[in-house]
Amino acid sequence: MDLKGLKITVIGAGIGGLAAALALRRFGASVTVLEQAEAITEVGAGLQITPNGVHVMKALGLADDLAWSAQRARAVVLRGHRRGNQVLRLDLDEYAAGLPYYFVHRSDLIGILAGAARREGVQVRLLQRVDRVQPGPQPLVHLVNGAQCGGDLLVGADGLHSKTRVALNGERKPFFTGQVAWRAIVPNHLKLPPEAQVFMGPGRHLVAYPLRDGSLVNLVAVQERRAWAEEGWNFKDDPANLRAAFAGFGGTAAALLETVEEVLLWGLFRHPVADRWHGEHIAILGDAAHPTLPFMAQGANLALEDAWVLARSLQEAAGMSSGLAMYQARRRERAQNVVQAASRNAWKYHLRAPLSWPAHQVLKLGGRFAPDRMVSQFDWIYRHDVTA
């Protein structure tokens, strides 16, 4: 299908929305992005962009920009929580020969995508909060300010609390997983190398990796607990609560937590993957279609994959409806598998005595005698190339 002259409205200038806008524009469509925020580059903390996401950045012509602003990850190192003793080291240099794996600040990645989209002629309109989406042969977006917007196609890239998902699938309540996560950025006083350090304790774990030029460290701390916390990206918490929750952590983990001055807390919820990813002239992608827990670091990567596949499917198909059907058929099962893998992964870092000791021994032996196998079990996620 020739996308030239097609008018497309994308809701949400997050990673999925901007990547889709850029890909659709490259294939000839005329694209407007509606974003509720007043600025798009200032929010968020660290993201991991794994090789499957890098393939999409490369196809968008942005691999060098990503390499410039990100830290290339050298390894993932699993450690005990008391003293930080190494349990397992997964070497990414060998694994990812020619397939880089990055740690990037979300705002830098957004900046790269937004800059490229604007240069290509995508209109990004800020302070446009969508109230309601009306599907149908001529879908409409109703904005909170009373204005309406249409288009030949609406793309809902409006994240976790997507209005577009509700318009297509109705309301479905997520459930609290009994886990919360804090995230913070601290100075890299300890000169941590470009590796993801995972400190594993009973019922909790802490992940730390450097960002930007290595001067900052991104922290994500996950705790199993009964007390519920709100699901969202901007809820502040007291750093003392984080330190109290990780009181038994020593060594590097304790030193990092000591430097936290500002912290955000979010409740981890499980959402069903949307059944319907498209209507007649409407589609959803990224977190709007399949919010995921953070345990495989795939939220942003899946959004990049969706964006590329949506644009590509429309371009390859004979018409809009077959293009949208092709998009869902190519994406839903993979997204579901990755979301399930992430949901299964958390407990592995949270083992309590007496299970934790033998489990760590098994990991150590695996690392010593079958290191390739320890990493290659995730090939189906990380080596997948939607642009091939």
Ligand X SMILES: Cc1cc2nc3c(=O)[nH]c(=O)nc-3n(C[C@H](O)[C@H](O)[C@H](O)COP(=O)(O)OP(=O)(O)OC[C@H]3O[C@@H](n4cnc5c(N)ncnc54)[C@H](O)[C@@H]3O)c2cc1C
By CB under 6 A, name the binding residues for ligand X.
Answer: 11-17, 34-37, 43-45, 47, 106, 128-130, 157-160, 163, 183, 233, 286-288, 294, 299-300, 303
Nearest approach in angstroms of CB 367 to ligand X is 26
Residue closer to ligand X by CB (options 47, 154) is: 47
Tokens of 188: 């890299």
Distance, in Å, from the CA atom of 169 to the CA atom of 151, rounded to the nearest integer, reads 21
Tell me if residue 59 falls in helix, strand or coil. Answer: helix
**Measured at CB, which residue is nearest to ligand X?**
14
Please list the residues that pair with 278 across neighbouring strands: 283
Tokens of 296: 């495989």
CB of 186 closer than 8 Å to CB of 39: no
* Helix 320-345, helix 299-316: angle, nearest 10: 160
Length of the chain, in residues: 388
Amino acid at 323: G
Element (H, E) at 260: none
Residue closer to ligand X by CB (options 284, 374) is: 284
Please list the residues that pair with 149 across neighbouring strands: 141
75 — phi, psi (to 5°)? Answer: -165, 160
Nearest approach in angstroms of CB 94 to ligand X is 26
Nearest approach in angstroms of CB 355 to ligand X is 28
Residue closer to ligand X by CB (options 284, 375) is: 284
Residue closer to ligand X by CB (options 162, 356) is: 162
CB of 217 closer than 8 Å to CB of 183: no
Nearest approach in angstroms of CB 233 to ligand X is 4
Tell me if residue 270 falls in helix, strand or coil. Answer: strand
Residue closer to ligand X by CB (options 87, 186) is: 186
Element (H, E) at 216: strand 216-224
Element (H, E) at 297: none
Nearest approach in angstroms of CB 156 to ligand X is 9
Tokens of 264: 């955000």
Cis peptide leading into residue 187 (ω within 30°)? no
* Helix 15-26, helix 106-119: angle, nearest 10: 20
Tokens of 378: 């995730």
Residue closer to ligand X by CB (options 163, 204) is: 163
Nearest approach in angstroms of CB 175 to ligand X is 18
Residue closer to ligand X by CB (options 157, 351) is: 157
Residue closer to ligand X by CB (options 145, 191) is: 145
Nearest approach in angstroms of CB 125 to ligand X is 10
Nearest approach in angstroms of CB 159 to ligand X is 3
Nearest approach in angstroms of CB 85 to ligand X is 27
DSSP state of 278: B
Distance, in Å, from the CA atom of 262 to the CA atom of 235, rounded to the nearest integer, reads 11
Residue closer to ligand X by CB (options 159, 279) is: 159
